[in-house]
Structure 1
Amino acid sequence: GLEQPKELSIFEINGSEAKVYCQCLCLLAKLFLDHKTLYYDVDPFLFYVLCEVGADGAHRIAGYFSKEKASVENNNIACILVLPQHQRKGYSKLLIDTAYQLSLREGKVGSPEKPLSDLGLLSFRSYWTQVLLQTLSMHRGNVSVAEMSMMTSITTDDIISTLQSLNLIKYWKGQHVISVSAKIVDEHLKANSRASLRCDPTKLTWQPPSTQIE
Protein backbone atom coordinates (compact mmCIF):
# COMPACT_ATOMS: atom_id res chain seq x y z
CA GLY A 1 0.00 0.00 0.00
CA LEU A 2 0.89 3.67 -0.04
CA GLU A 3 3.30 4.88 2.60
CA GLN A 4 1.46 7.08 5.10
CA PRO A 5 2.99 10.56 5.30
CA LYS A 6 4.79 11.49 8.50
CA GLU A 7 3.06 14.83 8.51
CA LEU A 8 1.24 17.40 6.41
CA SER A 9 2.34 20.96 5.70
CA ILE A 10 0.56 23.89 4.07
CA PHE A 11 2.52 26.76 2.53
CA GLU A 12 1.29 30.20 1.43
CA ILE A 13 2.67 31.30 -1.95
CA ASN A 14 2.21 34.78 -3.38
CA GLY A 15 1.21 34.71 -7.05
CA SER A 16 3.11 37.92 -7.81
CA GLU A 17 6.34 36.65 -6.20
CA ALA A 18 6.39 33.08 -7.57
CA LYS A 19 4.58 33.65 -10.85
CA VAL A 20 5.85 30.67 -12.85
CA TYR A 21 5.31 28.22 -9.96
CA CYS A 22 1.72 29.44 -9.50
CA GLN A 23 1.04 29.36 -13.25
CA CYS A 24 2.22 25.74 -13.27
CA LEU A 25 -0.15 24.97 -10.36
CA CYS A 26 -3.04 26.44 -12.37
CA LEU A 27 -2.10 24.48 -15.50
CA LEU A 28 -1.91 21.31 -13.39
CA ALA A 29 -5.40 22.02 -12.04
CA LYS A 30 -6.68 22.55 -15.59
CA LEU A 31 -5.98 18.85 -16.28
CA PHE A 32 -8.55 17.86 -13.64
CA LEU A 33 -11.03 20.76 -13.46
CA ASP A 34 -13.19 21.38 -16.54
CA HIS A 35 -14.25 24.85 -15.42
CA LYS A 36 -10.71 26.09 -14.64
CA THR A 37 -10.05 29.27 -16.65
CA LEU A 38 -7.28 31.11 -14.77
CA TYR A 39 -3.77 30.10 -15.76
CA TYR A 40 -1.61 33.14 -16.39
CA ASP A 41 -2.94 36.10 -14.40
CA VAL A 42 -1.84 34.83 -10.99
CA ASP A 43 -0.66 38.15 -9.49
CA PRO A 44 -3.94 38.94 -7.63
CA PHE A 45 -3.98 35.53 -5.90
CA LEU A 46 -2.46 33.73 -2.94
CA PHE A 47 -1.99 29.96 -3.20
CA TYR A 48 -2.10 27.56 -0.24
CA VAL A 49 -0.31 24.34 -1.16
CA LEU A 50 -0.85 21.14 0.84
CA CYS A 51 2.12 18.75 0.93
CA GLU A 52 2.61 15.29 2.32
CA VAL A 53 5.97 15.04 4.07
CA GLY A 54 7.55 11.63 3.51
CA ALA A 55 9.96 9.78 5.80
CA ASP A 56 12.75 11.09 3.56
CA GLY A 57 11.73 14.68 4.36
CA ALA A 58 10.54 15.37 0.82
CA HIS A 59 7.43 17.53 0.43
CA ARG A 60 5.08 16.16 -2.23
CA ILE A 61 2.13 18.24 -3.43
CA ALA A 62 -1.27 16.71 -2.65
CA GLY A 63 -3.50 19.67 -3.48
CA TYR A 64 -4.03 23.40 -3.10
CA PHE A 65 -6.52 26.21 -2.96
CA SER A 66 -6.24 29.78 -4.16
CA LYS A 67 -7.89 32.96 -2.95
CA GLU A 68 -7.96 36.54 -4.16
CA LYS A 69 -5.81 38.95 -2.14
CA ALA A 70 -8.66 41.47 -2.21
CA SER A 71 -12.05 39.92 -2.92
CA VAL A 72 -14.91 42.41 -3.21
CA GLU A 73 -17.37 39.56 -2.53
CA ASN A 74 -15.33 38.15 0.40
CA ASN A 75 -14.59 34.89 -1.42
CA ASN A 76 -12.16 32.86 0.68
CA ILE A 77 -11.58 30.20 -1.99
CA ALA A 78 -11.27 30.84 -5.73
CA CYS A 79 -10.15 27.36 -6.80
CA ILE A 80 -9.56 24.10 -4.91
CA LEU A 81 -7.91 20.91 -6.14
CA VAL A 82 -6.88 17.63 -4.56
CA LEU A 83 -4.85 15.49 -6.94
CA PRO A 84 -6.60 12.22 -7.90
CA GLN A 85 -4.11 9.93 -6.13
CA HIS A 86 -4.67 11.87 -2.89
CA GLN A 87 -8.46 11.95 -2.92
CA ARG A 88 -10.54 10.21 -0.24
CA LYS A 89 -7.96 11.14 2.41
CA GLY A 90 -9.96 14.06 3.81
CA TYR A 91 -7.72 16.67 2.19
CA SER A 92 -10.58 18.67 0.62
CA LYS A 93 -12.09 19.37 4.02
CA LEU A 94 -8.66 20.16 5.45
CA LEU A 95 -8.10 22.78 2.73
CA ILE A 96 -11.62 24.19 3.18
CA ASP A 97 -11.14 24.37 6.96
CA THR A 98 -7.81 26.16 6.45
CA ALA A 99 -9.55 28.78 4.28
CA TYR A 100 -12.10 29.39 7.03
CA GLN A 101 -9.40 29.55 9.73
CA LEU A 102 -7.72 32.28 7.67
CA SER A 103 -11.06 34.13 7.43
CA LEU A 104 -11.47 33.87 11.22
CA ARG A 105 -8.00 35.38 11.71
CA GLU A 106 -8.95 38.20 9.35
CA GLY A 107 -12.19 38.80 11.24
CA LYS A 108 -14.20 38.25 8.05
CA VAL A 109 -16.88 35.90 6.80
CA GLY A 110 -16.06 34.03 3.61
CA SER A 111 -17.61 31.88 0.93
CA PRO A 112 -16.24 29.99 -2.07
CA GLU A 113 -16.36 31.68 -5.46
CA LYS A 114 -19.56 30.85 -7.34
CA PRO A 115 -20.70 28.99 -9.33
CA LEU A 116 -19.61 25.81 -7.57
CA SER A 117 -19.35 22.53 -9.43
CA ASP A 118 -21.66 19.74 -8.22
CA LEU A 119 -18.70 18.04 -6.55
CA GLY A 120 -17.54 21.33 -5.05
CA LEU A 121 -20.97 22.03 -3.59
CA LEU A 122 -21.03 18.54 -2.03
CA SER A 123 -17.63 19.12 -0.38
CA PHE A 124 -18.58 22.53 1.01
CA ARG A 125 -22.06 21.44 2.09
CA SER A 126 -20.51 18.47 3.93
CA TYR A 127 -18.00 20.77 5.67
CA TRP A 128 -20.63 23.38 6.57
CA THR A 129 -22.93 20.64 7.91
CA GLN A 130 -20.25 19.23 10.24
CA VAL A 131 -19.14 22.63 11.55
CA LEU A 132 -22.66 23.97 12.06
CA LEU A 133 -23.90 20.81 13.80
CA GLN A 134 -20.90 20.93 16.14
CA THR A 135 -21.62 24.59 16.88
CA LEU A 136 -25.31 23.88 17.52
CA SER A 137 -24.38 20.96 19.78
CA MET A 138 -21.93 23.10 21.75
CA HIS A 139 -24.60 25.75 22.37
CA ARG A 140 -27.45 23.23 22.73
CA GLY A 141 -29.26 24.89 19.82
CA ASN A 142 -29.49 28.23 21.65
CA VAL A 143 -27.63 30.34 19.09
CA SER A 144 -28.62 32.68 16.26
CA VAL A 145 -27.58 32.55 12.59
CA ALA A 146 -25.60 35.80 13.04
CA GLU A 147 -23.76 34.38 16.09
CA MET A 148 -22.92 31.17 14.21
CA SER A 149 -21.55 33.24 11.35
CA MET A 150 -19.25 35.15 13.73
CA MET A 151 -18.03 31.91 15.34
CA THR A 152 -17.35 30.03 12.09
CA SER A 153 -16.74 32.72 9.41
CA ILE A 154 -19.42 30.97 7.30
CA THR A 155 -21.76 33.48 5.61
CA THR A 156 -25.35 33.74 6.82
CA ASP A 157 -26.57 32.69 3.34
CA ASP A 158 -24.47 29.49 3.46
CA ILE A 159 -25.63 28.80 7.03
CA ILE A 160 -29.30 29.25 6.11
CA SER A 161 -29.09 27.05 2.99
CA THR A 162 -27.26 24.31 4.93
CA LEU A 163 -29.71 24.35 7.85
CA GLN A 164 -32.64 24.36 5.40
CA SER A 165 -31.23 21.20 3.79
CA LEU A 166 -31.29 19.62 7.28
CA ASN A 167 -34.76 21.02 8.13
CA LEU A 168 -33.28 22.80 11.14
CA ILE A 169 -34.44 26.34 10.37
CA LYS A 170 -37.81 28.01 9.86
CA TYR A 171 -38.93 31.36 8.47
CA TRP A 172 -41.13 32.93 11.12
CA LYS A 173 -42.43 36.51 11.42
CA GLY A 174 -40.09 37.76 8.72
CA GLN A 175 -36.88 36.18 9.98
CA HIS A 176 -35.03 32.88 10.00
CA VAL A 177 -35.30 31.06 13.32
CA ILE A 178 -33.26 27.99 14.24
CA SER A 179 -35.79 25.39 15.34
CA VAL A 180 -34.02 22.44 16.88
CA SER A 181 -33.75 20.27 19.97
CA ALA A 182 -30.53 18.85 21.38
CA LYS A 183 -31.81 15.35 20.53
CA ILE A 184 -32.27 16.21 16.83
CA VAL A 185 -28.80 17.82 16.67
CA ASP A 186 -27.26 14.70 18.23
CA GLU A 187 -29.07 12.49 15.71
CA HIS A 188 -27.76 14.58 12.82
CA LEU A 189 -24.26 14.53 14.32
CA LYS A 190 -24.33 10.72 14.47
CA ALA A 191 -25.38 10.62 10.80
CA ASN A 192 -22.52 12.99 9.91
CA SER A 193 -19.96 11.56 12.30
CA ARG A 194 -17.16 10.71 9.86
CA ALA A 195 -13.90 11.94 11.31
CA SER A 196 -12.30 14.65 9.21
CA LEU A 197 -8.97 16.39 9.15
CA ARG A 198 -9.01 19.92 10.51
CA CYS A 199 -6.55 22.79 10.53
CA ASP A 200 -5.22 23.17 14.08
CA PRO A 201 -5.37 26.95 14.72
CA THR A 202 -2.59 26.64 17.32
CA LYS A 203 -0.24 25.46 14.56
CA LEU A 204 -1.32 28.08 12.03
CA THR A 205 1.60 30.52 11.77
CA TRP A 206 -0.15 33.30 9.90
CA GLN A 207 -1.34 36.83 10.47
CA PRO A 208 -3.46 38.97 8.13
CA PRO A 209 -1.33 41.42 6.15
CA SER A 210 -1.41 44.90 7.70
CA THR A 211 -1.38 46.41 4.22
CA GLN A 212 -2.59 44.96 0.93
CA ILE A 213 -0.14 42.41 -0.46
CA GLU A 214 1.24 43.37 -3.84
Structure 2
Amino acid sequence: KYGVLNTRNIKEVVFGNYTIETWYGNGAYFASGRRHQLGTEITPAARKIDDLLSVDGFWLNTLYVCDFCFKYTSDKSKMDVHKVVCPLNRPFPPIGKLVYADTKTKRLIKKVRGFLHELFCQNLSLFGKLFLDDKSVYYNVEPYDFYVLYGADDEGASEKSSKSCIYRPMGFFSVETTAWEPDNNLACICVFPPYQRQCLGLLLIEFLYAAAEAAGQMPLGPEFPLSPYGRQLYLRFWGKRIAFELLNSPDRGGCTTLGDLAVRTGFRREDLLFALEHMGVLYTSDE
Protein backbone atom coordinates (compact mmCIF):
# COMPACT_ATOMS: atom_id res chain seq x y z
CA LYS A 1 0.00 0.00 0.00
CA TYR A 2 2.79 2.43 1.06
CA GLY A 3 0.34 5.30 1.55
CA VAL A 4 -0.90 5.50 -2.06
CA LEU A 5 -4.69 5.71 -2.29
CA ASN A 6 -7.09 6.56 -5.10
CA THR A 7 -9.32 8.73 -2.91
CA ARG A 8 -8.95 11.17 -0.04
CA ASN A 9 -9.11 9.41 3.31
CA ILE A 10 -8.56 12.38 5.66
CA LYS A 11 -11.12 15.18 5.39
CA GLU A 12 -9.05 18.05 6.77
CA VAL A 13 -5.81 18.79 8.55
CA VAL A 14 -5.27 21.42 11.23
CA PHE A 15 -1.83 22.93 10.70
CA GLY A 16 -1.15 25.58 13.30
CA ASN A 17 -4.06 28.02 13.11
CA TYR A 18 -5.03 26.87 9.62
CA THR A 19 -7.66 24.26 8.82
CA ILE A 20 -6.85 22.86 5.38
CA GLU A 21 -8.89 20.51 3.22
CA THR A 22 -6.65 17.71 1.97
CA TRP A 23 -6.10 17.19 -1.76
CA TYR A 24 -5.06 13.53 -1.83
CA GLY A 25 -5.22 10.43 0.33
CA ASN A 26 -2.41 9.12 2.51
CA GLY A 27 -2.71 5.66 4.02
CA ALA A 28 0.80 5.85 5.51
CA TYR A 29 -0.54 7.98 8.38
CA PHE A 30 -2.47 4.92 9.54
CA ALA A 31 0.38 2.40 9.43
CA SER A 32 1.21 0.87 12.79
CA GLY A 33 4.24 -1.06 14.00
CA ARG A 34 7.76 0.31 14.11
CA ARG A 35 6.68 3.66 12.63
CA HIS A 36 4.70 4.58 15.74
CA GLN A 37 7.26 7.15 16.88
CA LEU A 38 6.40 9.39 13.91
CA GLY A 39 3.34 10.80 15.63
CA THR A 40 2.42 11.90 19.12
CA GLU A 41 0.47 8.65 19.45
CA ILE A 42 0.71 5.18 17.91
CA THR A 43 -1.79 5.73 15.09
CA PRO A 44 -4.65 8.14 14.31
CA ALA A 45 -7.03 5.21 13.97
CA ALA A 46 -7.76 2.24 16.19
CA ARG A 47 -8.23 -0.18 13.29
CA LYS A 48 -5.63 -1.66 10.98
CA ILE A 49 -5.14 -0.17 7.53
CA ASP A 50 -6.42 -3.34 5.82
CA ASP A 51 -9.73 -2.92 7.64
CA LEU A 52 -9.91 0.77 6.76
CA LEU A 53 -9.56 0.09 3.03
CA SER A 54 -13.14 -1.20 2.98
CA VAL A 55 -14.53 1.91 4.71
CA ASP A 56 -16.71 4.20 2.60
CA GLY A 57 -15.92 7.87 3.06
CA PHE A 58 -13.21 9.41 5.20
CA TRP A 59 -11.15 7.32 7.60
CA LEU A 60 -10.56 10.38 9.74
CA ASN A 61 -12.29 13.76 9.79
CA THR A 62 -9.50 15.86 11.32
CA LEU A 63 -5.77 15.28 11.64
CA TYR A 64 -3.73 17.69 13.78
CA VAL A 65 -0.19 18.37 12.57
CA CYS A 66 2.43 20.39 14.47
CA ASP A 67 3.45 23.41 12.39
CA PHE A 68 6.99 23.19 13.76
CA CYS A 69 8.04 19.52 13.64
CA PHE A 70 5.15 17.95 11.64
CA LYS A 71 4.32 15.34 14.26
CA TYR A 72 0.64 14.42 14.15
CA THR A 73 -2.33 13.12 16.11
CA SER A 74 -6.10 12.81 15.82
CA ASP A 75 -6.53 14.24 19.34
CA LYS A 76 -6.53 18.04 19.63
CA SER A 77 -5.68 17.97 23.33
CA LYS A 78 -2.58 15.87 22.64
CA MET A 79 -1.44 18.34 19.99
CA ASP A 80 -1.94 21.24 22.41
CA VAL A 81 0.28 19.48 24.95
CA HIS A 82 2.87 18.55 22.34
CA LYS A 83 3.29 22.09 20.98
CA VAL A 84 4.15 23.40 24.43
CA VAL A 85 7.13 21.05 24.68
CA CYS A 86 8.00 20.75 20.96
CA PRO A 87 11.79 21.31 20.66
CA LEU A 88 11.31 23.12 17.33
CA ASN A 89 8.80 25.61 18.74
CA ARG A 90 11.26 28.49 18.69
CA PRO A 91 11.16 31.96 17.07
CA PHE A 92 13.99 30.95 14.70
CA PRO A 93 13.92 27.36 13.34
CA PRO A 94 16.71 25.47 15.16
CA ILE A 95 16.89 22.63 12.65
CA GLY A 96 19.09 22.45 9.56
CA LYS A 97 21.59 24.84 7.97
CA LEU A 98 20.62 28.33 6.85
CA VAL A 99 21.23 28.63 3.10
CA TYR A 100 19.02 31.60 2.18
CA ALA A 101 17.70 34.63 4.05
CA ASP A 102 15.77 37.71 2.95
CA THR A 103 15.36 40.16 5.82
CA LYS A 104 12.98 42.35 3.81
CA THR A 105 10.39 39.67 3.07
CA LYS A 106 11.32 37.61 6.15
CA ARG A 107 11.87 34.43 4.21
CA LEU A 108 14.40 31.73 5.11
CA ILE A 109 15.46 28.45 3.54
CA LYS A 110 17.01 25.80 5.79
CA LYS A 111 18.80 22.75 4.39
CA VAL A 112 17.79 19.70 6.42
CA ARG A 113 19.67 16.48 5.71
CA GLY A 114 17.56 13.34 5.77
CA PHE A 115 20.19 11.15 7.41
CA LEU A 116 20.72 13.68 10.22
CA HIS A 117 17.08 14.57 10.92
CA GLU A 118 15.27 11.44 9.83
CA LEU A 119 12.14 11.83 11.96
CA PHE A 120 11.52 15.44 10.92
CA CYS A 121 11.95 14.62 7.22
CA GLN A 122 9.68 11.58 7.46
CA ASN A 123 6.92 13.62 9.04
CA LEU A 124 7.43 16.43 6.53
CA SER A 125 7.12 13.92 3.68
CA LEU A 126 3.93 12.45 5.15
CA PHE A 127 2.38 15.91 5.37
CA GLY A 128 3.44 16.78 1.83
CA LYS A 129 1.69 13.67 0.49
CA LEU A 130 -1.66 15.21 1.44
CA PHE A 131 -1.06 17.80 -1.31
CA LEU A 132 1.08 15.83 -3.80
CA ASP A 133 -0.51 13.16 -5.96
CA ASP A 134 2.63 11.27 -6.97
CA LYS A 135 4.80 11.44 -3.83
CA SER A 136 5.80 7.93 -2.76
CA VAL A 137 8.84 8.35 -0.50
CA TYR A 138 8.01 8.89 3.18
CA TYR A 139 10.34 6.73 5.26
CA ASN A 140 13.53 6.22 3.24
CA VAL A 141 14.66 9.83 3.59
CA GLU A 142 18.36 9.23 4.31
CA PRO A 143 19.54 9.85 0.71
CA TYR A 144 17.60 13.13 0.44
CA ASP A 145 18.26 16.73 1.35
CA PHE A 146 15.17 18.78 2.22
CA TYR A 147 15.12 22.53 1.68
CA VAL A 148 12.42 23.97 3.92
CA LEU A 149 11.05 27.45 3.29
CA TYR A 150 10.18 29.45 6.41
CA GLY A 151 8.43 32.77 6.70
CA ALA A 152 7.16 35.14 9.38
CA ASP A 153 3.53 34.12 9.30
CA ASP A 154 1.56 36.94 10.91
CA GLU A 155 -1.85 35.74 9.73
CA GLY A 156 -1.39 32.23 11.07
CA ALA A 157 0.39 33.30 14.24
CA SER A 158 -1.03 32.63 17.66
CA GLU A 159 -1.44 35.22 20.39
CA LYS A 160 1.90 34.13 21.85
CA SER A 161 3.81 34.37 18.57
CA SER A 162 2.29 37.71 17.56
CA LYS A 163 4.44 39.40 20.21
CA SER A 164 7.62 38.40 18.37
CA CYS A 165 8.59 37.21 14.92
CA ILE A 166 8.23 33.43 14.67
CA TYR A 167 9.21 31.65 11.47
CA ARG A 168 6.94 28.83 10.34
CA PRO A 169 7.38 26.29 7.53
CA MET A 170 5.57 27.27 4.32
CA GLY A 171 6.81 24.65 1.87
CA PHE A 172 9.79 22.57 0.79
CA PHE A 173 11.57 20.80 -2.00
CA SER A 174 13.74 17.70 -1.81
CA VAL A 175 16.83 16.61 -3.73
CA GLU A 176 18.13 13.06 -3.97
CA THR A 177 21.83 13.13 -3.14
CA THR A 178 22.52 9.73 -4.72
CA ALA A 179 20.42 10.09 -7.88
CA TRP A 180 21.34 7.83 -10.81
CA GLU A 181 20.94 10.78 -13.16
CA PRO A 182 23.24 13.58 -11.95
CA ASP A 183 21.33 16.24 -13.90
CA ASN A 184 18.21 15.77 -11.72
CA ASN A 185 18.06 18.64 -9.23
CA LEU A 186 14.65 18.05 -7.68
CA ALA A 187 12.64 15.07 -6.43
CA CYS A 188 9.49 16.92 -5.30
CA ILE A 189 8.30 20.43 -4.48
CA CYS A 190 5.36 21.59 -2.39
CA VAL A 191 4.11 24.92 -1.09
CA PHE A 192 1.47 24.38 1.57
CA PRO A 193 -2.02 25.63 0.57
CA PRO A 194 -2.26 28.58 3.02
CA TYR A 195 0.88 30.08 1.49
CA GLN A 196 0.23 29.56 -2.20
CA ARG A 197 -0.27 32.40 -4.71
CA GLN A 198 2.67 34.27 -3.16
CA CYS A 199 5.25 33.18 -5.77
CA LEU A 200 6.97 31.03 -3.15
CA GLY A 201 7.23 28.06 -5.51
CA LEU A 202 9.08 30.21 -8.03
CA LEU A 203 11.37 31.41 -5.23
CA LEU A 204 12.26 27.81 -4.38
CA ILE A 205 12.99 26.92 -8.01
CA GLU A 206 15.05 30.06 -8.57
CA PHE A 207 17.08 29.28 -5.45
CA LEU A 208 17.55 25.71 -6.60
CA TYR A 209 19.04 26.75 -9.95
CA ALA A 210 21.19 29.48 -8.35
CA ALA A 211 22.63 27.00 -5.86
CA ALA A 212 23.36 24.50 -8.62
CA GLU A 213 25.06 27.17 -10.75
CA ALA A 214 27.25 28.22 -7.82
CA ALA A 215 28.29 24.59 -7.39
CA GLY A 216 29.02 24.19 -11.11
CA GLN A 217 26.28 21.59 -11.61
CA MET A 218 24.55 23.07 -14.66
CA PRO A 219 22.66 22.16 -16.80
CA LEU A 220 20.09 20.25 -14.81
CA GLY A 221 16.37 19.98 -14.13
CA PRO A 222 13.66 18.19 -12.14
CA GLU A 223 12.97 14.49 -11.94
CA PHE A 224 10.07 13.37 -14.14
CA PRO A 225 7.17 12.82 -14.02
CA LEU A 226 6.34 16.13 -12.38
CA SER A 227 3.29 16.56 -10.19
CA PRO A 228 0.59 18.85 -11.65
CA TYR A 229 1.71 21.55 -9.21
CA GLY A 230 5.40 21.08 -10.04
CA ARG A 231 4.69 21.03 -13.78
CA GLN A 232 2.84 24.34 -13.57
CA LEU A 233 5.62 25.93 -11.53
CA TYR A 234 8.45 24.78 -13.77
CA LEU A 235 6.72 25.71 -17.02
CA ARG A 236 6.08 29.19 -15.68
CA PHE A 237 9.67 29.57 -14.50
CA TRP A 238 11.20 28.16 -17.68
CA GLY A 239 8.92 30.23 -19.93
CA LYS A 240 9.78 33.52 -18.26
CA ARG A 241 13.51 32.81 -18.33
CA ILE A 242 13.48 31.67 -21.97
CA ALA A 243 11.51 34.74 -23.06
CA PHE A 244 13.95 37.00 -21.20
CA GLU A 245 16.98 35.38 -22.82
CA LEU A 246 15.52 35.53 -26.33
CA LEU A 247 14.38 39.13 -26.01
CA ASN A 248 17.73 40.23 -24.58
CA SER A 249 19.96 38.15 -26.82
CA PRO A 250 22.82 40.04 -28.50
CA ASP A 251 21.89 38.07 -31.62
CA ARG A 252 18.21 38.95 -31.41
CA GLY A 253 16.49 38.20 -34.67
CA GLY A 254 19.21 35.78 -35.68
CA CYS A 255 19.62 32.07 -35.05
CA THR A 256 19.56 30.73 -31.49
CA THR A 257 20.11 27.02 -30.94
CA LEU A 258 18.97 24.84 -28.06
CA GLY A 259 22.62 24.56 -27.11
CA ASP A 260 22.87 28.35 -26.85
CA LEU A 261 19.79 28.51 -24.65
CA ALA A 262 21.04 25.64 -22.49
CA VAL A 263 24.31 27.46 -21.83
CA ARG A 264 22.62 30.79 -21.05
CA THR A 265 19.83 29.42 -18.87
CA GLY A 266 21.34 26.31 -17.31
CA PHE A 267 18.27 24.31 -18.39
CA ARG A 268 18.49 20.87 -19.97
CA ARG A 269 17.65 20.67 -23.67
CA GLU A 270 14.67 18.39 -23.06
CA ASP A 271 13.30 20.90 -20.54
CA LEU A 272 13.76 23.71 -23.05
CA LEU A 273 11.82 21.77 -25.68
CA PHE A 274 9.09 20.97 -23.18
CA ALA A 275 8.72 24.64 -22.24
CA LEU A 276 8.89 25.93 -25.83
CA GLU A 277 6.21 23.46 -26.87
CA HIS A 278 4.01 24.60 -23.99
CA MET A 279 4.57 28.23 -25.01
CA GLY A 280 3.30 27.39 -28.50
CA VAL A 281 6.30 28.85 -30.30
CA LEU A 282 7.60 25.71 -32.05
CA TYR A 283 6.87 25.11 -35.70
CA THR A 284 8.29 23.04 -38.54
CA SER A 285 10.20 24.84 -41.26
CA ASP A 286 10.54 23.59 -44.84
CA GLU A 287 14.01 25.09 -45.10
Q: Same fold (TM over 0.5)?
A: yes
Distance 1:166 1:79 in 2: 23
Pick which of 36-45 and 116-125 moved more: 116-125
- Matched with 2:171 is 63
Query: Relative to 1, partners in 2 of residues 1:149 and 1:17: Cα closer, same or farther, differing over 3 Å?
Result: same
How many pairs were matched up? Answer: 170
Residue 144 of structure 1 aligns with an amino acid whose one-letter code is: T
Whether the 8 Å contact between 2:235 and 2:278 is mirrored in structure 1 is: no
- Distance in 2, Cα, partners of 1:26 & 1:18: 12
Counterpart for residue 51 of structure 1: 150
1:98 maps to which of 173, 183, 207: 207
1:124 aligns with 2:237: no
Maintained 8 Å contact 2:174/2:189:
yes
Kindly report the root-mean-square deviation, in angstroms, between the aligned alpha carbons of the 2 structures. Answer: 2.2
1:113 aligns with 2:223: yes
How far apart are 1:19 and its partner, in Å?
1.1
Distance 1:164-1:21 versus aligned 2 partners, 3 A rule? same
**Kept in 1: contact 2:185–2:221 (CA 8 A):** yes
- Contact in 2 for aligned 1:6/1:54 (Cα 8 Å): no
* Cα 1:141–1:90 shift into 2, 3 Å: farther
Task: State the Cα distance separating 1:65 from its structure 2 match.
Answer: 0.1
Give the distance between the partners of 1:101 and 1:141, measured in 2 at CA: 28
**Rg comparison, structure with higher value:** 2
Partner of 2:108: 9
Deviation at 1:6, TM superposition (A): 4.5
Q: Does 1:82 align with 2:181?
A: no
Structure-2 separation of matches of 1:162 and 1:87: 22
1:135 is displaced (CA, Å) by 1.1
- For residues 141 and 80 of structure 1, do their structure 2 counterparts lie closer, same or farther at Cα, with a shift above 3 Å needed? farther
Alpha-carbon displacement from aligned partner over 1:95-136 (angstroms, at most 9, x marks no partner): 111111122123222221111123321221111100111111
Matched to 1:67, the amino acid is V
Q: Distance in 2 between matches of 1:129 and 1:77?
A: 18
Query: 1:36 matched to which residue of 2?
Result: 135
What is the correspondence of 1:17-32 to structure 2 with a 5 Å cutoff? 17-32=116-131
| RCO comparison, higher one (Cα < 8 Å, 6+) | 1
More helix by share: 1
Work out whether residues 188 and 230 of structure 2, in 8 Å CA contact, stay in contact via their aligned partners in 1. Answer: no
In structure 2, stretches of 5+ residues that fail to align are 1-103, 155-163
State the one-letter code of the partner of 2:260. E
Match of residue 72 from structure 1: 180
Contact 2:184 2:223 in 1 (8 A): yes
- Partners in 1 of 2:148 and 2:235 — Cα distance? 22
Letter in 2 for 1:43: E
Return closer, same or farther for 1:169/1:35 CA change in 2, 3 Å cut-off: closer
Decide which of 256, 276, 281 is 1:163's aligned counterpart: 276
The answer for the alignment partner of 1:152 in structure 2 is 265
For 2:264, give the aligned amino acid: M
TM-score (norm 2): 0.54
Q: Which position in structure 2 is the counterpart of 1:138?
A: 248
